[in-house]
């Protein structure tokens, strides 16, 4: 039977998509990729394969899930299966450096970034390239904002790097990134389905960088009352009307070039008022509370609703081609 195969490694993120697929009566199955075996000479099952492998898989003790998924995607493409968010999307999911290169090549702007290999090189690189200015330290392969920290001083950065609490990035690469002082403590996350704009959310960053919108990523109540930070939104995640049309078209063109079908793209307003893109999430989640407040829950305008419709369309198209 031809069906939608959902490739993933985190069961906690699966229920919203499962509900959306079931509501539409779409046949589907999960492919949990952590360990396993495939016969490369044997054909895969029929259907459409949706890759949801996350850059943060190693934080759930699934250290080699992304690498195993790359092998599975090679097997699927070798046999001509329809893959949503295929090998090129996975490659950008697990490397912010390669993301930024692809974004800049497509004419989009990213924050100034210095790539550092080696724990002992971090402080010297910050001193050399940022001259004591505040910097954000982030792993090249992270996810959910995991490991992202802001340092206002070199002394603070030095203490962290030298301390017992330092976390070595899984691929050995750290990024030093210019701290962007946005007019308000928010970033924007634009969601795309089938390489077309779905909706955007405004995300409050005043509590830090844990920006995963899924319920299971919630970090509890804010540490300071709403209104204490100037310009702070009322809610952590808020669906907004849209983004600037020309910029939206640029992002859609980037997805076409990069071979990414489904993504959440995060950007911040730079000092000149223009957008700076700093993250592309090919394993995107959606915030149900924000969708509920916007009146789009359960509809085809919701994140999972749009995704289920898209996957259903790809499945129908694959069935027609096979007939």
- Range with the lowest mean pLDDT among 120-124, 179-183, 199-203, 262-266? 179-183
Q: Report the percentage of the chain scoring pLDDT > 90.
A: 75
Q: What tokens does 139 get?
A: 């792993």
Kindly state the tokens that stand for 30. Answer: 């999960």
Going by pLDDT thresholds of 50, 70 and 90, the confidence category of residue 228 is very low
Q: Comparing C-alpha atoms, which of 306, 84, 105 is closest to residue 191?
A: 306
Find the radius of gyration of the CA atoms of the chain: 20
Range of lowest pLDDT (49-63, 76-90, 221-235, 302-316): 221-235
Contact (CB, 8 A) for 73 and 61:
no
**Domain residue ranges in the chain:** 3-92+306-322, 95-108+182-305, 113-178
3-92+306-322 belongs to which CATH class? alpha beta
Six token digits for residue 257: 């070039």
Contact in structure between 24 and 308 (CB atoms under 8 Å): yes
The pLDDT of residue 218 is above 70: no
The CATH superfamily assigned to 95-108+182-305 is ATP-grasp fold, B domain (3.30.470.20)
Query: Residue 177 forms beta bridges with which residues?
Result: 113, 136
- 4-8 mean pLDDT: 97
Chosen CATH of 113-178 out of 2.40.30, 3.30.1490, 3.30.70, 3.30.428: 3.30.1490
pTM (two decimals)? 0.89
Examine the pLDDT at 248 and tell me if it is beyond 80: yes
Q: What six digits make up the tokens of 313?
A: 């369309």
**pLDDT at position 230, please?**
54
Q: What is the pLDDT of residues 157-208, one digit of tens each?
A: 999 999 998 989 999 999 999 998 888 888 999 999 999 999 999 998 876 5
Q: Across all residues in the chain, what is the average pLDDT?
A: 89
Residue 215: predicted pLDDT: 38
């Amino acid at each position: 039977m031809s069906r939608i195969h959902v490739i993933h490694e985190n069961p906690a993120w699966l229920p919203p998509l499962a509900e959306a697929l079931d509501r539409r009566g779409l046949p589907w199955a999960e492919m949990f990729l952590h360990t396993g075996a495939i016969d490369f000479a044997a054909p895969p099952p029929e259907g459409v394969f949706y890759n949801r492998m996350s850059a943060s898989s190693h934080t759930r003790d699934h250290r080699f899930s992304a690498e195993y998924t790359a092998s599975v995607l090679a097997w699927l493409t070798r046999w001509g299966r329809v893959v949503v968010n295929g090998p090129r999307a996975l490659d950008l999911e697990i490397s912010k450096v390669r993301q930024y290169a692809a974004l800049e090549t497509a004419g989009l702007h990213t924050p100034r970034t210095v790539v550092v290999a080696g724990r002992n090189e971090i402080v010297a690189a910050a001193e050399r390239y940022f001259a004591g200015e505040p910097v954000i330290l982030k792993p090249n392969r992270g996810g959910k904002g995991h490991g992202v920290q802001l340092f206002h001083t070199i002394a603070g950065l030095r203490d962290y790097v030298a301390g017992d609490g330092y976390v070595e990035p899984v691929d050995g690469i750290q990024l030093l990134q210019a701290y962007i002082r946005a007019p308000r403590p928010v970033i924007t996350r634009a969601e795309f389905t089938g390489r077309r704009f779905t909706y955007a959310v405004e995300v409050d960053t005043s509590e830090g960088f844990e920006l995963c919108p899924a319920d299971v990523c919630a970090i509890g109540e804010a540490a300071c009352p709403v209104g204490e930070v100037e310009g702070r939104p009322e809610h952590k995640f808020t669906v907004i009307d849209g983004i600037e049309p020309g910029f939206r078209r640029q992002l859609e063109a980037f997805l076409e070039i990069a071979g990414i079908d489904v993504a959440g793209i995060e950007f911040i307003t730079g000092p000149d008022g223009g957008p700076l893109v700093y993250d592309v999430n090919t394993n995107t989640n959606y915030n149900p509370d924000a969708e509920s407040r916007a009146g789009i829950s359960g509809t085809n305008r919701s994140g999972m609703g749009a995704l289920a419709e898209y996957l259903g369309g790809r499945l129908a198209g694959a069935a027609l081609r096979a007939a």
